Amino acid sequence: MPKGDRPGSGPQKLTLNEYLGKRGLSSPMSDYMTDKGRSNPLLRTARGESAFQAEAKRAADDYQAQRAAAIKEYNKLVEGGSIVQPTSLERRIKTAQGHSDNPAVQAARRRLEKQGIDWRTGKKRRSTWMED
């Protein structure tokens, strides 16, 4: 476990997406409508359809309110110092440690290699081609 992720070891290093993900709010849209439209008895009448749409709008508004509150809380925690945003190098190293089939992972590894940084450890590599 990285040093900043342990409780009581100082500020946590979290991006906004990671913070929202821990709270189940990572998607910009609510998943309330997933599987609700298929064979829904409310959709058989005009009155039922309008009630269903009102219910869906209420759920989406509630989700957006929760998400906005979590974003505001994240920004407050960053300002207070209990959460620290990872540097671009730390984010790149974390991306490079993903699955090797992912194009973003491959790009992050190439970029770190050009910078002379080992993506596994995050440390500067010694250049061996100059020593020969």
Q: Residues 44-90: pLDDT tens digits?
A: 888 888 888 898 899 999 999 999 999 999 999 999 999 999 998 99
CA atoms within 13 A on the CB side of 50: 2
- What does the block give as tokens for 39? 């064979």
Domain limits, the chain = 3-84, 87-132
Is the pTM higher than 0.75? The answer reads no
Compute the Cα dihedral for 64, 70, 71, 73 and give only its sign.
Answer: positive
Question: From CA 112, how far away is CA 98, in angstroms rounded?
Answer: 14
Q: Residues 17-45: pLDDT tens digits?
A: 999 999 999 888 887 777 776 677 777 88
Q: Comparing C-alpha atoms, which of 70, 92, 96 is closest to residue 83? A: 70
